[in-house]
A and B are shown apart, each in its own frame.
Chain A
Amino acid sequence: MQRAFRRAHRSLWLVLAFLIPIVLGLALMMRPTGTHEQPPVPLDDAAKSALEANQ
């Protein structure tokens, strides 16, 4: 039983020691940052003329 426990403990950590950093890393990488930013895009003529009128 003792060794079964140690084995379970070790296998669990072999999984967690990789899984936990991966989840953390993914979540951090997917964080919205400046690189995701997009300027407004006019999608029709009314939008374009409104933009011109505003400038």
Chain B
Amino acid sequence: MAKKKPDPFFIGWAKKPPKVLQGFLFLISAVLVGAAVGVALGIGASVPDPGDARFEWGAGYQTFTGYVDAKPYPLLRLPAGEDGRDQPHAMLISGIGKRGMQQLAGPLDGQAVDAGGILLKRGDLDMLQVGGDVSLRAAENPIPNFTPAPAEHLGKWRLSGEICDGKCYTGAMRPGVGLAHKACANLCIIGGIPPVFVTTTPLMGSQFFLLADENGEPLSSEVQDWVALLISLEGEVERRDDLMIFKVNLDSAKQL
């Protein structure tokens, strides 16, 4: 007679699993919880750095006086010293949320303005989220003896990089780049936020380019198909103060 071997059989509706299986099930449970802890820690601790991009809530509500360019996308042109910089500065502006400043900036194009809001900063880049009491209005006390310098033309280039929306990239969202963020970037661009080109390699010290079409007008909605991909683009580069503008033909876009 062979010795009777244990033949455990689990029945779901039974009060308890068979004794021989209890140890195994306990082990499985421990392995499961352990794996959950390990994987969560591993993934959560190794997220890529979204960069030093933020709203400058600490600096509070700020007001700047300068000129506004409505095209290709609304820009503030600030004299040296206005932003704590020793050179004139061109600053992107946006409305609150995913809205551009076209409506207010359009009629004020080329005029002296006051702009108030919260700054977004990413390293040396900044953008003003315009709002509050001052918002964007004709300047009450224009800065004397200041007119923005004309644009400097830097020739035709092929650049490689990623199209982002200027607001999320400069600090409205972390991370504000990449395909996972594409829907958000497209919503921003549809709402009038300036699309920007962040290049993989700097050109004359700059990796951040405001995009425009070949005539310096806002890009067509076709740009949405190219957002968040690594692409090369061709077009004229010009510089307004310290801001590079890349006037591209979207037909030249190639996915890399």
* A interface, CB within 8 angstroms of B: 32, 36-51, 54
Contacts and interface: CB of A to CB of B under 8 A. Distances in A.
Interface of B: 153-160, 162, 199-201, 203-204, 229-230, 232, 234, 237, 256
Given A38-B160, A54-B204, A43 B234 contact: yes
A37 B156 contact: no
A54 B155 CA distance: 13
B154 A50 contact: yes
Contacts of B160: 36-40
Contact of A40 (B162, B203, B256): B203
Contact of B230 (A36, A39, A40, A47): A36
Contacts of B237: 47, 50
Contacts of A36: 160, 200, 230, 256
Contacts of A40: 157-160, 199, 201, 203
A37 B154 contact: no
Nearest to A51: B204
Nearest to A30: B255
Contacts of B155: 42-51
A47 B153 CA distance: 9
Contacts of B158: 38, 40-41, 43
A40 B154 CA distance: 12
Given A32-B230, A43-B234, A38 B256 contact: yes
B157 A47 contact: yes
A46 B201 contact: no
The 10 closest A-B pairs by CB, nearest first: A47-B155, A46-B155, A32-B230, A43-B156, A41-B158, A50-B154, A38-B160, A37-B200, A40-B203, A36-B256
Contacts of A32: 162, 229-230, 256
Contact of B153 (A41, A46, A48, A54): A46
Nearest to B204: A54
Given A36-B256, A38-B256, A47 B200 contact: no
Contacts of A50: 153-155, 204, 237
26 contacts: A32-B230, A32-B256, A36-B256, A37-B201, A38-B160, A39-B160, A40-B157, A40-B158, A40-B199, A40-B201, A40-B203, A41-B157, A41-B159, A42-B156, A42-B157, A43-B157, A43-B158, A44-B155, A45-B155, A46-B156, A47-B157, A48-B155, A49-B155, A50-B204, A51-B155, A54-B204
